[in-house]
């Protein structure tokens, strides 16, 4: 266990934090932890609230750690454990944390922009970002293992997007935003072992595109009433 903590501290921290928040939701809202009130109290995203109260912009981050129901939590927790350990080994702990957060925020900004009247929560925005990031590194990098892993994740992404289209109640915009945020972050956040996969110009360009896209979407979301 000590070796696991030393090797993947951020993955385990994110998993512990997500689990703690979910348990607290169950304890504070016995039998009602999946209610809108519970989700919003613990930091879920509802765009109309942010429009009315811009000081609650933090809701673009906190939904990453909030889940609606046991099935939602267990599926995302397992996904975080397996993909998180891989991504943390590729990018290192600090850059992996940045990747996870930036992808999640991008997904939540997409929800805020496209579905402001929808209550949304869950780590899937960040998880889709991790899948996209590994796929990008696998495609452009030189590692045969990551190339094969990236192809598998592309198939997984396609399957999940199709599932999103035919299943009600799943935020397609959040998942698409996570994919975009993760893919761009993979370009400007260098990996531990292939730091020259992208040029400085490509890294700077991807970073500026991320900032510009997120800024424009936020500005537009606040401007539309």
Catalytic positions are 124, 175
* Residue labelled with tokens 């979910």: 22
Residue 98 exposure: Cα atoms within 13 Å on the Cβ side:
16
CA dihedral sign of residues 11, 101, 45, 181: negative
Angle (CA) 149-60-21 rounded to 5° is 80
Q: Is 43 left (phi over 0), alpha (psi -120 to 50) or beta?
A: left
Helix (H, G, I), strand (E, B) or coil at 119: strand
φ/ψ of 57, rounded to 5, equals -60, -20
């Amino acid at each position: 266990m000590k070796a696991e903590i030393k090797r993947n501290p951020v993955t385990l921290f994110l998993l512990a934090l997500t689990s703690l928040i979910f348990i607290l939701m169950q304890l504070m809202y016995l039998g009602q932890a999946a209610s809108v009130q519970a989700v919003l109290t613990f930091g879920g995203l509802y765009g109309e609230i942010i429009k009315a109260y811009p000081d609650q912009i933090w809701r673009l981050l906190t939904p990453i750690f909030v889940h609606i129901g046991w099935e939602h939590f267990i599926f995302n927790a397992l996904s975080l454990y397996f993909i998180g350990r891989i991504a943390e080994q590729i990018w290192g702990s600090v850059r992996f944390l940045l990747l996870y957060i930036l992808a999640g925020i991008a997904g939540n900004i997409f929800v805020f922009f496209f579905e402001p009247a929808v209550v949304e929560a869950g780590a899937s925005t960040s998880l889709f970002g991790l899948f996209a990031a590994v796929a990008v590194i696998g495609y452009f990098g030189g590692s045969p293992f990551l190339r094969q892993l990236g192809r598998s994740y592309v198939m997984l992404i396609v399957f999940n997007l199709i599932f999103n289209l035919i299943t009600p109640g799943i935020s397609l915009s959040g998942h698409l935003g996570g994919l975009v945020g993760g893919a761009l972050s993979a370009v400007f956040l260098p990996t531990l072992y292939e730091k020259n996969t992208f040029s400085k110009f490509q890294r700077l360009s991807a970073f500026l595109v991320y900032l510009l896209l997120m800024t424009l979407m936020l500005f537009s979301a606040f401007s539309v009433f």
